[in-house]
Chain A
Amino acid sequence: MGEAGKVMIEAVEDRGEDYSGDFLAEVEARVEEGEWVTMCTQCGVCSGSCPLGPDWEHPPHRIFQLIRANRRDEVLGSPSVWMCTSCHACVVRCPRGVPVAHVMHGLAHYAVRRGLAPADPPTRRLAERFWENVVRTGRVNEPRLALSLLFANGLAEGVRRTLRSRDAGLGLLKAGRMSRLAAVAGDGVKDPAELRAILEKARAIELAKAAALED
């Protein structure tokens, strides 16, 4: 993966034995905003607010319940947290002030880091390509992001999908909203290596903290 690879997530070996099987304690200590889980009173307002509600295998309030019920694999392996659109409806409505969206995001990241996230959610693929894009140049190159997604399943599938989405692409091209050149070159920050140094340092600090918890 070269230089950019260093700031990508590397899944650590999952022993699944930390916290003597106490998943709630694990979430509280290791998942971003995880300490909020016990504030939830199971009122269901968050789940009722989710725009893609019917597509969640376990809607947010159930995720909180499953965490407390110690169902680790079910939570981290579920495609549910990948259904969050970051709409923040839950955040403004939760009577307990739980930052529900952030916990869902935190769980998604943690599941990837532990190597337990399902491989197939398209949002996972999009997010990973997106981050590679950001790390490479410091700015998102939309055509390149679109192409890398279209070709994520190999060349033949990519060509088929490109043809299918051609009209939208051509429309944007015609309207001056998708530069032909940007897919090749594209501008970014002046010194991507400097930005990568910052991100690598941040990643290193985070990993060191996680390792300290491991002992």
Chain B
Amino acid sequence: MAKRQYSFLPGCSSRPGASASHYLTSVETVCGELDIELQTIPDWNCCGASLGHVGGGELPRIALSARNLALSEQAHPGQDLVTACPGCWLATREASERLRQDEDLMRDTQEALAAGGLRVRAEQRVRRLVDVLVEDVGYEEIGRHVRRPLQGLKVAGYVGCQSSRPVGVAGDSTENPTHLDRLVEALGGEPVPSYEKKVQCCGGALALSEPARSEGLLRGILEAARDHEVDLVVTPCPLCQLHLEVYQQRLARSGGTRPAMPVVCATSLMAVAFGRSAREAGLDGQLIPAPALEALPPGLA
């Protein structure tokens, strides 16, 4: 049995063939290495993300997350529910908190769930994968797995919204979080604690629906990283990663001349530092390659 077990919500984007499939690859590599067993919630459904309120309103939206909570506690009693995607965390955690605090909502939700033969207690903790890595595993243990330190690499830690608000990772600051910097350090890289855009919004779902309006946000995140002369940007959120890559592709097509800034997922960075292959790190899914990572001297074995 693995050292640590969690009930796992992969989320829509992390399925094979979806936009964050490379992220899931890196998550599996890192968890395997750290002896973490992610037990997928059987028959999980979408969390509703940050758009569910429009079509779903209050109760259908909450019921959507309640179904995941119910399936999780049924299949994996006593385990924390852990999400790959910080967006799934936000929606699921909020539903669970509201169910515990609001009796009427709980009663209505049970009535809705009963239509599918389910009941929910919403007592398990709902956490992001990064919460688990930082809080349960910790920098020291992570550091012990490093076989290919990120020597000489300067990395800007872009935390984004859903890994800093409404609650920071492992209780970290919502305005100036440091957990990502400490992670980079544990991997042997050089963090940029003064990076100004750590928690700047990337536009979220509006990066898709309002691309022109979101451009300024995405540009700011990348420009600030460039000002610090970093080799790459790292983020715990697969959707931020996607938006930052797609935006740069669009720029390049419209005649932009600046070299693109590589943006990688935190778990990809960890997998590389653990000495795993580019494929296992999910780097073959990069739209913008990260040559600095591939040029690192081979691991200590």
Contacts and interface: CB of A to CB of B under 8 A. Distances in A.
B284 A175 contact: yes
B55 A130 contact: yes
Contacts of A124: 54
Nearest to A134: B46
A86 B50 CA distance: 6
Contacts of A91: 165-166
Contacts of A132: 55
A177 B58 contact: no
A195 interface: yes
Given A134-B48, A167-B253, A172-B287, A182 B18 contact: yes
A190 interface: yes
Interface stretch (B19-27, B74-82, B265-273): B19-27
- Interface size for chain A: under 10, 10 to 19, 20 to 34, or 35 or more residues? 35 or more
Q: Which of B12, B162, B208 is the most central at the interface, judged by chain A CB atoms within 10 Å of its CB?
A: B12
B201 A175 contact: no
B53 interface: yes
A132 B56 CA distance: 10
A85 B249 CA distance: 22
Given A134-B48, A175-B286, A202-B108, A139 B12 contact: yes
A160 interface: no
Interface in B105-121: 108-109, 111-118
Interface string B18-58: 11111000000000000000000001111011111111111
A139 B46 contact: yes
B284 A202 contact: no
Nearest to A87: B201
Q: Which of B20, B50, B203, B253 is the most central at the interface, judged by chain A CB atoms within 10 Å of its CB?
A: B50
Contacts of A35: none
Contacts of A113: 57
Interface in B225-279: 242, 246, 249-250, 253
Contacts of A52: 203, 206, 210, 213-214, 217
Contact of B63 (A83, A139, A142, A199): A199
B67 interface: yes
A179 interface: yes
Contacts of A8: 55
A89 B55 contact: no
Contacts of A199: 56, 60, 63-64, 112
Contacts of A131: 51-52, 54-56
A175 B17 CA distance: 9
Given A85-B201, A138-B45, A199-B63, A176 B22 contact: yes
A190 B57 contact: no
Given A124-B54, A187-B15, A202 B287 contact: no
A122 to B, nearest CB: 4
B285 interface: yes
A125 B208 CA distance: 11
A168 B244 CA distance: 12
A84 to B, nearest CB: 8
B200 interface: yes
B205 A123 contact: yes
A91 B164 CA distance: 12
Interface string A184-215: 00010110001101111111011000000000
Given A87-B204, A176-B285, A122 B57 contact: no
A130 B49 contact: yes
Contacts of B285: 175-177
Contact of A109 (B15, B57, B90, B117): B57
B250 A177 contact: no
Contacts of A139: 12, 15, 45-46
21 contacts: A85-B205, A86-B205, A91-B166, A123-B206, A126-B209, A127-B54, A128-B54, A131-B51, A131-B56, A138-B45, A139-B45, A142-B12, A175-B285, A195-B116, A198-B67, A198-B115, A199-B112, A201-B63, A201-B115, A202-B109, A205-B108
Interface of B: 12-13, 15-22, 43-46, 48-60, 62-64, 67, 90, 108-109, 111-118, 161-162, 165-166, 174, 199-201, 203-206, 208-210, 213-214, 217, 242, 246, 249-250, 253, 284-287
| CB-based closest 7 A-B pairs | A131-B55, A179-B17, A127-B54, A87-B201, A88-B165, A86-B50, A202-B112
